[in-house]
Amino acid sequence: MLTRQTDRLPAIREAHEGTVAGDRNALARLLTLIEEDPASASPIVWTGSGAAHIIGITGPAGAGKSTLTGALITSLRADGGRVAVLAVDPSSSFSGGAILGDRLRMSNHVLDPDVFIRSTATRGSRGGLAASVPLAIKALDSAGFSHVLIETVGVGQSEIDIARFADTIVVVLAPGWGDGVQAIKAGLLEIADIFVMNKADLPNRAQAVAELKGLYVGVNNHADVPVIETTATTEDGVSDLRDALMDHRSLLLEHGGELLKSRRDQTAAEHVRFALRVELERRREGIMASGVFDRAIEKVADGRCDPWTTALGLIEA
Ligand SMILES: Nc1nc2c(ncn2[C@@H]2O[C@H](COP(=O)(O)OP(=O)(O)OP(=O)(O)O)[C@@H](O)[C@H]2O)c(=O)[nH]1
Ligand SMILES: [Mg+2]
């Protein structure tokens, strides 16, 4: 059973060609097509790739990720960079409130032709992440930007997983992020290439940095992950973050890009794992929404069949 819809292919192909040629409207269209039907877009989008530095920006809710992203855009633009942002919003696609907030925080850049900002809502009843996100990142990479920034709230495993599609992962914390154990459980500390302690204007900054260093040395078994202090609202320290990003990029490109290649290999595996997970979940939900499922349940309830035979039968059917 294939979920692809071949009638969409010409539109996807056209949008992709426009995207690669630098047409922003085509890119916006392509992202919508990817959201609507990632399975159909995949073979076309996967053929393109660019030279963007893909940067994941994650961390607890309210740490200042969007504000920092806005400030980082300013800094990268000053160096002549062309920047795309994908803000992955955990709120329901119906509320849209936070998305509007992000737009406002990044509003200085909305009219800049060399900045492209897109918000996408995570969907799914169990907070599963938008099926389109990995391919959207790939599409943005194809569009000729120097930097692709992906903002995602590090609240759950699926959100943290998005960061794995990046070349460089920035974990943003703020003083009072407090329950460090929670962050470790969420796997947030392990994945950092760079830590940012944002809201460095707050009084308990030094204590928060010390606490972080104590924690991540324990987690990562090494102490060479940089900790950058920023005040995103005033752009203080943002140039240090930009420098740290460039350093990490240089590291990835050393020895003929050995590290970058191994990262991208991991990313390829992650793309497939991700597609598998989304598609299997989609099929499971399809089965559960069907009348066949309800009838099978009745049989189990009144003892005519057992749960495992029923489940296996539903999969076969
Ligand atoms: N004092 C201070 N406040 C900041 C700083 N950076 C951001 N804020 C404020 O913190 C609040 C949250 O900022 P956001 O940028 O929306 O944080 P976020 O991490 O993107 O939030 P979510 O996307 O909802 O997880 C806003 O009121 C910001 O103005 C900072 O450096 N210092
Ligand atoms: Mg945000």
Tens digit of pLDDT for each residue in 230-239? 999 999 999 9
What's the whole-number average pLDDT of the chain? 86
SS3 per-residue string spanning 228-279? EECECCCCECHHHHHHHHHHHHHHHHHHHHHHHHHHHHHHHHHHHHHHHHHH
pLDDT digit string, tens, across residues 47-95: 878 899 999 999 888 899 999 999 999 999 999 999 999 988 755 333 3
Ligand number, closest to the Cα atom of 105: 1
Instruction: Kindly give the number of the ligand 1 atom that is closest to the alpha carbon of 59.
Output: 19
Closest CA to 150 of 34, 42, 138, 142: 138
Residues 6+ apart with CB under 8 A from 130: 35, 88, 120, 121, 122, 123
Ligand number, closest to the Cα atom of 241: 1
Supply the pLDDT for residue 3: 62
Supply the pLDDT for residue 29: 96
pLDDT digit string, tens, across residues 251-279: 999 989 999 999 989 999 989 998 998 88
C-alpha to C-alpha distances, 311 to 276, 279, 298, nearest whole angstrom: 19, 17, 13
Q: From atom 21 of ligand 1, which residue's Cα is the shortest distance away? A: 62
**What's the gap in Å between 10 CA and the centre of ligand 1?**
42
> Nearest 5°: CA angle at 171, between 170 and 176?
150
Q: Which residue has the higher pLDDT, 303 or 95?
A: 303
Q: Which residue has the higher pLDDT, 316 or 162?
A: 316
**What's the gap in Å between 185 CA and the centre of ligand 1?**
23
Query: Cβ(56)–Cβ(172) under 8 Å?
Result: no
Strands 168-173 and 147-153: unpaired
Report, as an integer, the average pLDDT of 281-304: 92
